[in-house]
């Protein structure tokens, strides 16, 4: 199979137009509640007129939620998929201060210490170098500012895991992509199974210079949000 970056790029280019409705079906309508919890953590204690970056912004879900929580914020969304950014541009057209940038999470095109908060929502597992993404996020954060990383994980509870695997391996691809695009949505299942654990993510963040780590889990551990502040 082609390398991960190229494959993931193709997946998201192809599913962009129906991605929002698919997310609602896949998460049983809960994904915005989970993202809302992450946004509340991100926006706690922000300065006036903060500058906030959403890495892997996709179609703009997090940007819209952040704008509700911090209406005076200058928002920047970054994604590597032009089709996803087109969807975000349309969905977020009424936001005041917003810039959408096509770029690589592993080499952010922003100056050091230029953001008051960074979010990564369901995007880290689609990158090829988690350490590099977390290091880049820390580089562009101001000292003491918060990173929130929310993503899908395989639950650790042995009673839950059989049901989880049935849903994510069989039902979820059909719910997300139907007959036409079920192969693309199988990637979302596969990428979660290949992803690190919540504990490993916390350890990576600590090693990259994030303190005051906190973790919230949802749906029996199928989703988790790990947050931390950039050490000075």
Inside any domain, residue 178:
no
133/127 Cα distance (integer angstroms): 8
How far is 127 from 146, CA to CA, in rounded Å?
A: 21
- Report pLDDT for 146: 98
In order of 46, 50, 123, 140, the CA distances from 111 in angstroms are 19, 15, 21, 6
At residue 219, the pLDDT reads: 85
- Separation of alpha carbons 83 and 149, rounded Å: 23
Q: Do the domain assignments include residue 185?
A: no
* Nearest one of 173, 152, 177, 174 to 18, comparing CA atoms: 177
* Within a domain: 209: yes
Place 1 in a pLDDT band, splitting at 50, 70 and 90: very low
Q: Would 212 be classed as within a structural domain?
A: yes
Q: Which domain holds residue 69?
A: 4-153+196-230
Question: Whole-model pTM?
Answer: 0.90
Give residue-wise pLDDT tens across range 9-19.
887 787 777 76
Mean of the pLDDT values across residues 121-140? 96
Q: Does residue 29 have a pLDDT over 80?
A: no
SS3 category, 222 = coil
In contact, 20 and 59? CB cutoff 8 Å = yes
Q: Is the pLDDT of residue 142 over 90?
A: yes
What is the structure's pLDDT at 37?
96
Residues 9 and 104: beta-carbon distance below 8 Å = no
Task: Identify whether the C-beta of residue 224 lies closer than 8 Å to the C-beta of residue 197.
Answer: no
pLDDT, tens digit (0-9, with 9 covering 90-100), for 155-181: 888 787 777 666 666 566 555 555 555
Residues 184, 131, 103, 6, Cα dihedral to 10° = -40
Check whether 186 has a pLDDT greater than 90. no
Q: What pLDDT is recorded for position 14?
A: 74
Residue with tokens 């137009």: 17
Residue 181, in any domain of the structure: no
Closest by CA to 38, choosing from 72, 63, 73, is 63
C-alpha dist (Å) from residue 133 to 71, 221, 228: 27, 23, 14
Rounded to the nearest integer, the mean pLDDT of the chain is 88
pLDDT digits (tens, 9 = 90+) for 70-90: 999 999 999 999 999 999 999
Residue 161 belongs to a domain: no
Looking at residue 61, which CATH number applies to its domain?
3.40.50.150
Q: 202 in a domain, yes or no?
A: yes
In a domain, 220, yes or no: yes
Query: What pLDDT does 166 receive?
Result: 66
Q: Is the pLDDT of residue 119 over 80?
A: yes
Q: How many domains, in total, are found in the chain? A: 1
Backbone angles phi, psi at 3, to 5 degrees: -60, 160
Strands 74-79 and 98-102 come out as parallel
């Amino acid at each position: 199979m082609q390398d991960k970056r190229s494959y993931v790029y193709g997946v998201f280019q192809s599913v962009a137009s129906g991605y929002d409705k698919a997310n609602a079906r896949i998460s049983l309508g809960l994904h915005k509640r989970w993202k809302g919890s992450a946004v509340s953590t991100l926006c706690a204690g922000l300065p006036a007129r903060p500058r906030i970056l959403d890495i892997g912004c996709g179609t703009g879900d997090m940007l819209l939620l952040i704008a509700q929580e911090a209406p005076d914020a200058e928002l920047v969304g970054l994604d590597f998929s032009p089709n996803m950014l087109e969807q975000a541009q349309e969905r977020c057209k009424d936001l005041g201060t917003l810039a959408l940038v096509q770029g690589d999470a592993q080499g952010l095109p922003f100056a050091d210490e230029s953001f008051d908060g960074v979010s990564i929502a369901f995007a880290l597992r689609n990158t090829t170098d988690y350490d590099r993404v977390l290091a880049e996020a820390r580089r562009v954060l101001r000292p003491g500012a918060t990173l929130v990383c929310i993503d899908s994980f395989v639950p650790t509870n042995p009673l839950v895991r059989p049901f989880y695997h049935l849903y994510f391996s069989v039902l979820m691809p059909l719910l997300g992509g139907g007959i036409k695009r079920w192969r693309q949505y199988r990637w979302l299942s596969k990428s979660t199974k290949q992803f690190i654990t919540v504990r490993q993510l916390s350890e990576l963040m600590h090693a990259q210079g994030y303190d005051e780590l906190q973790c919230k889990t949802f749906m029996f551990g199928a989703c988790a949000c790990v947050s931390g502040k950039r050490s000075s």
